[in-house]
């Protein structure tokens, strides 16, 4: 379909492994967001891109988390040396609009990461 696509849908990692989560936004969407959703909680903001520029990374919990969107389309969230507290669903969302305002965000189904 034409929605936001995330892969893998499920990832199990051993503590200390590196993982990479991919997001394919809706074609042409300017803004891209990553959120982390712990079990039973609301999504927490991680980082925001406008095209290829990472304008806000204030929500990244540590320097083990890194996100990129080199060509302003597909984005990758990388987590190095995973810890058990990184276990969560990672959500990607995109919007046709840049900056602020009330433009609708379209969410992917998420990548569920389990760290053993």
Partner 1 sequence: GNSVTQMEGPVTLSEEAFLTINCTYTATGYPSLFWYVQYPGEGLQLLLKATKADDKGSNKGFEATYRKETTSFHLEKGSVQVSDSAVYFCALRLNQGGKLIFGQGTELSVKP
Nearer to partner 1, 50 or 80 (CB): 50
**Between 2 and 102, CB nearer to partner 1:** 102
Q: Determine if 105 is a binding residue for partner 1 (CB under 8 A).
A: yes
Residues 6 or more apart from 103 whose CB is under 8 A from it?
A: 31, 95, 96, 97
Kindly list the strands in the beta sheet with 65-68, ordered across the sheet, starting from the edge strand earlier in the chain: 5-7, 19-24, 75-79, 65-68
Binding mask 8-47 for partner 1 (x = CB under 8 A): -----------------------x-x-x----xxxxxx--
Q: Is 68 in the site for partner 1 (CB under 8 A)?
A: no
What backbone torsions phi and psi does residue 53 show, to the nearest 5 degrees?
A: -85, 125
């Amino acid at each position: 379909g034409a929605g936001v696509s995330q892969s893998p849908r499920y990832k199990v990692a051993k503590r200390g492994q590196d993982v990479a989560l991919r997001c394919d936004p809706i074609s042409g969407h300017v803004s891209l967001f990553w959120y982390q959703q712990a079990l039973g909680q609301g999504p927490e903001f991680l980082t925001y891109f406008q095209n290829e520029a990472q304008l806000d990374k204030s929500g990244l919990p540590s320097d083990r988390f890194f996100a990129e969107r080199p060509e302003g389309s597909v984005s990758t969230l990388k987590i190095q040396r995973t810890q058990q507290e990184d276990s969560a669903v990672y959500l990607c969302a995109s919007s046709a609009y840049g900056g602020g305002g009330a433009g609708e965000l379209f969410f992917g189904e998420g990548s569920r990461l389990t760290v053993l």
